[in-house]
Amino acid sequence: MSRYYTRVCNFYYGKVSKNLVVKKESIPLHQFKEISFDQIEIITRKSKKKISIHKIKDLPKTLRNKINFDLNKIKSKKKNFSKFNFQNIPNILGVLNLTPDSFSDGGKFNTKKKGVEQAFRLFNSGANLIDIGGESTRPGSKKIKEDQEWNRIKSILKLVTEKIPISLDTRKSKIMTKGINLGVKIINDVSGLNFDSKTIDVLKKSKIPFVIQHSQGDPEYMQKKPNYKNELLDIYDFFEKKIKFLRSEGIKHNNIILDPGIGFGKNLKHNMTLIHNISIFHSLGFPILVGNSRKSFIKKLSGKNDSKLRIGGTMASSIYLMMQGVQILRIHDVNEIMQGIKVFKKIINN
C-alpha cells in the first residue's frame, strides 16, 4: 500500500491572503491569515498530484481521512515559546559563531568584546533570539573537545543571557546542561540529537525547547557524495521517526522545531528540492526553521554574481521561504534581511 504525504501549496500572502480566507477560498496556515493556500499536493514515492482544497471531499475515503488528518495539523495554531512569535512570520534566529573556523564568520567575533557587541547588534536589529555556538560544523570541520567548546562561549553566555534570549548551538550534552543553567532559551543540535546519547536525558529532565536538525553524516565527511532515495521524503520520515522516538522516551511537550538542514549532507539538487518543497514539513505539526543564510547553494545558483556575504541570495531565498510559511530563518545579516522583509511586506500590502 502506498504511503501518502500532504504538501500544501499555491500560497497567498498579505492582504490578498486575508481576503481569500474571509471568502473561504483559501485556508490559513496555522490560523495565520496572512499566509494561506488553496491547493495540496498528494505525494507518494512514485507519484505527485495537485488538487484544489475543494476537491478533497471527492477523494477515496481512506485517502481523504489521511489528508484531513494532515490538514488538521497544518491548520492548528502554533503556540509561542522561547521568544518566538508564530503569529508574526518569519522569526529571525541571529547567528553568532564564537569560533575561529566557521564557514562564513569564523574568527570575526571570537573575543569577549566582539562577541558581546555582535550579540546586541543582532538583537537590536530585530532577531528574536541569538544562536551562539563554539564549535564549527561546516563541511570538512572536525569535532573539538568539550572543554575547548565551552571555553569559547562561557564568558559571553554569562554576560548576555540575562539581557538577550539565547539559543545554544551545540551537539554535546554537558555543554547543553551548562547553557541551560545559565538561562539559554532553546537548544539547537545540528546532529539531530544523534551525536551524544545523553542529550535525550538532558532534554527530558530540563523540558527545554529544542531544534531537531537533519544532517547526513558527520561534518568532516558529510559533503562527500551525499545520497538519498528521495531526499524530501527521506528527511520527512527521519523527522517522523525522531518525534515518535522522543515521545517513547517521555518527551511529551510540543516546543520542538524542525530544521531540514540545508547544506548538511546535501548537494545542490537536494537543497533545491528541500527549499522548493519546504511546505511539506507543515504536515508534521511543528514550526520549521531553515538556515539559508550565506549558504553555498547561493554561490552555485548565482555563478559569477556570487559575493562574499551573499546577502542578495539570502534575501531572495528568505522571501520565498517566508511565503511558504516557514516560521524561523537562521540569519547572519539580520539588519539587512529585516530591511528586505519589511519593505516586501509594505509593498505587498499597499
Task: Give the span between the Cα atoms of 19 and 28, in whole angstroms.
Answer: 11
Which position has the higher pLDDT, 220 or 335?
A: 335
The CA–CA distances, whole Å, from 87 to 28, 33, 187, 265 equal: 11, 9, 22, 32
Q: Which of 230, 235, 262, 257 is nearest to 246 (CA)?
A: 257
What pLDDT does 299 receive? 96
Residue 108: helix, strand or coil by DSSP? coil
DSSP code of 50?
E
Q: Catalytic positions, please?
A: 295, 330
Q: Mean pLDDT over residues 47-62, rounded?
A: 97
Residue 127 pLDDT class (50, 70, 90 cuts): very high
Q: Is the pLDDT of residue 268 over 80?
A: yes
How many CB atoms are located within 10 Å of the residue 249 CB? 12
Torsion, CA 341, CA 344, CA 349, CA 350, rounded to 10 = 130
Q: Is the pLDDT of residue 141 over 80?
A: no
The one-letter code for the residue type at 343 is V
Do 128 and 92 meet the contact criterion of CB atoms below 8 Å apart?
yes
Q: What are 201-258's pLDDT values in tens digits?
A: 999 999 999 999 999 867 666 577 889 999 999 999 999 999 999 999 999 999 999 9
What pLDDT does 110 receive? 67
Q: Is the pLDDT of residue 183 over 80?
A: yes
Predicted TM-score (pTM) of this structure: 0.94
Average pLDDT value over all residues in the chain: 94
Q: Mean pLDDT over residues 315-323, rounded?
A: 98
**Burial 7-44, CB ≥16 within 10 A → b, else e:** bbeebbbbeebbebbeeeebbbbbebbbbbbbbbbbbe
Q: Which domains does the chain have, with CATH numbers?
A: 5-75 (no CATH), 91-348 (3.20.20.20)
What pLDDT does 109 receive? 72
Q: Is the pLDDT of residue 163 over 60?
A: yes
Q: What percentage of the chain carries pLDDT values higher than 90?
A: 87
